[in-house]
Amino acid sequence: MIPASFDYQVAESPEHAVALLTEHGDEAKLLAGGHSLIPMMRFRLATPAVLIDVGRLQDLRYINATNGSIAIGALTRHSELEHSKLLAQSVPLLASVAALVGDPAVRHRGTIGGTLAHSDPASDLPAALLALGATIVARGPHGDREIAITDFFTGYFESALADDEMIVEVRVPVSTGGWDYQKFNRRAQDWAIVGVAVAQGGSGVSLVNMGSTPLRASATEQALASGASVAEAATLAAEGLQPPGDLNADAEFRSHLARVLTERALVAAGASST
């Protein structure tokens, strides 16, 4: 497959990227790792007129501890999350999930900012960050703003980012309570058919590929908080959701998988009613 023609510009700084975004509006797309965007362009599902390459913004590649949370630069690669000692100690769920994204080539190119901006409901890291209660820092023409991740995902491949904003940082609270990630797929490199992330012993439970955005399993979280058993809480994992159907799983099977995997994740995370 061959993409439609496009212009290519290199951003020299986040401010330059924002300026280019301001100039080109919704005709432009930021290019970071490119492992989601480029395939969509090759299938002509995405036809941006301008690609703004932010992949060279080395200053946005970092993982730092700050005041009880971990600050991660938007251009940090999945493989850097996977192998970070700081994350392994402070947010082990995130390091563990990063290790399950795609294959090694994808993990060496893909970035945390890119995967959030792409807002694919089938991606692993956005759901993990949702369970962890992360905060997203977006830079626009008027400076930075913080977006709670619960407000970030607005629809299928859509986020709260404005056309002239780019993600510069992701802040994740230190989270060492019981955690687990269940990724169910047919081939190791594939997106999850259904995934379940559990953070802090079950106070954060989120779902991959169970709707148009990454989702919190709210009914499960509330049931656990109200004293339900893990098994009872898990049966509520797909409550009120309208999961998609595709070649790998119809909606009914997806709901079933969500329940099974939520129970497994909660058990592995050592969750119990509070």
Partner 1 sequence: MNTTMTETEEAATTSYTHIGKARLRREDPALLTGEARFIDDLTLPAELWLGIVRSTEAHAKILGVDGRAALEIEGVSEVLSGADLAPLWGESALPCAWPVTDDMANPPHLPVATSVAKYVGDAVAVVLATSRYAAADGAAAVLVDYEQLPAVTDIESALATDAPLVHESLGTNKSYTWPLIPNPEAVDEAFANAAHTISERYVQQRLIPAPMEPRGVLASPGVANGELTLYSATQVPHILKVMTAVTLGIPEHKIRVVAPSVGGGFGCKLNVYAEEILCSALAMDRGVPVRWTEGRSEAATATIQGRGQVQHIELAADTDGKVTAVRVKLLADMGAYLQLVTPGVPLLGGFLYHGCYDIPNYSFECTSVFTNKTPTDAYRGAGRPEATYAIERAMDSLAIAVGVTPEEIRSRNFIAADAFPYESSAGLVFDSGDYQTVLDKAVAMANLDTVRTEQTKRRADKSNKLLGIGFSSYVEMCGLAPSRVLASLNYGAGGWEAATVRVLPTAKVQVITGSTPHGQGHETSWSMIVADKLGIDPDDIEVLHSDTAISPTGLDTYGSRSLSVGGTAVFMATDKVLDKARLIAAHQLEANEGDLEYVDGSFNVKGTPTAAVPFAAIAFAAFTAHDLPDGMEPNLEAHVTYDPPNFTFPNGTHIAIVEVDTQTGDVAIVDYVAVDDCGNQINPLIVEGQIHGGVLQGAAQALYEDAVYSEDGQIVTVNLGDYLVPSAAEAPTYRLASHVTPSPTNPMGVKGVGEAGTIAAAPAVINAVVDALRPLGVTDMAMPASPQTVWNTINNVNNEAPGGAS
- Residue closer to partner 1, measured from CB, 104 or 141: 104
Choices 22-30, 88-96, 206-214, 244-252; region in contact with partner 1 by CB under 8 A: 244-252
Reference 257, options 245, 274, 271, 268; nearest CA is 245
Q: Rule CB under 8 A: is residue 249 a binding residue for partner 1? A: yes
Choices 60-68, 112-120, 156-164, 256-264; region in contact with partner 1 by CB under 8 A: 256-264
Q: Report the 10 Å Cβ neighbour count for 68.
A: 8
3 state DSSP class of 147:
strand
Q: Rule CB under 8 A: is residue 190 a binding residue for partner 1? A: yes
Choices 93-101, 132-140, 182-190, 219-227; region in contact with partner 1 by CB under 8 A: 182-190
Q: Rule CB under 8 A: is residue 186 a binding residue for partner 1? A: yes
Q: Rule CB under 8 A: is residue 157 a binding residue for partner 1? A: no
CB 13 within 8 Å of CB 56: no
Among 9, 212, 235, 248, binds partner 1 (CB under 8 A): 248
- 43-62 residues in contact with partner 1 (CB under 8 A) are 43-44
Whole-number Å distance between alpha carbons of 6 and 117: 20
Q: Rule CB under 8 A: is residue 260 a binding residue for partner 1? A: yes
Q: Rule CB under 8 A: is residue 247 a binding residue for partner 1? A: yes
Q: Rule CB under 8 A: is residue 274 a binding residue for partner 1? A: no
- 99-128 residues in contact with partner 1 (CB under 8 A) are 103
Q: How far is the CB of 2 from partner 1 (least distance, A)?
A: 4
Residue with tokens 């893909």, as numbered in its chain: 110
Whole-number Å distance between alpha carbons of 195 and 265: 10
Q: Rule CB under 8 A: is residue 187 a binding residue for partner 1? A: yes
Choices 29-37, 199-207, 219-227, 249-257; region in contact with partner 1 by CB under 8 A: 249-257
Whole-number Å distance between alpha carbons of 72 and 63: 5
Q: Rule CB under 8 A: is residue 4 a binding residue for partner 1? A: yes
Whole-number Å distance between alpha carbons of 180 and 268: 6
Choices 16-24, 127-135, 162-170, 183-191; region in contact with partner 1 by CB under 8 A: 183-191
Q: Rule CB under 8 A: is residue 6 a binding residue for partner 1? A: no
CB 210 within 8 Å of CB 197: no
CB 182 within 8 Å of CB 100: no
Q: How far is the CB of 264 from partner 1 (least distance, A)?
A: 9
Reference 184, options 244, 240, 124; nearest CA is 124
Q: Report the 10 Å Cβ neighbour count for 187.
A: 7
Residue 95 region, left (φ>0) first, then alpha (ψ -120 to 50), else beta? Answer: alpha
Q: What pairing do the DSSP bridges indicate for beta strands 143-148 and 135-140? A: antiparallel
How many residues line the site for partner 1 (CB under 8 A)? 23
Whole-number Å distance between alpha carbons of 201 and 147: 25
Q: How far is the CB of 54 from partner 1 (least distance, A)?
A: 25
Which stretches of the chain bind partner 1, using CB under 8 A?
Answer: 1-2, 4-5, 43-44, 103, 184, 186-190, 193, 247-250, 253, 256-257, 260-261
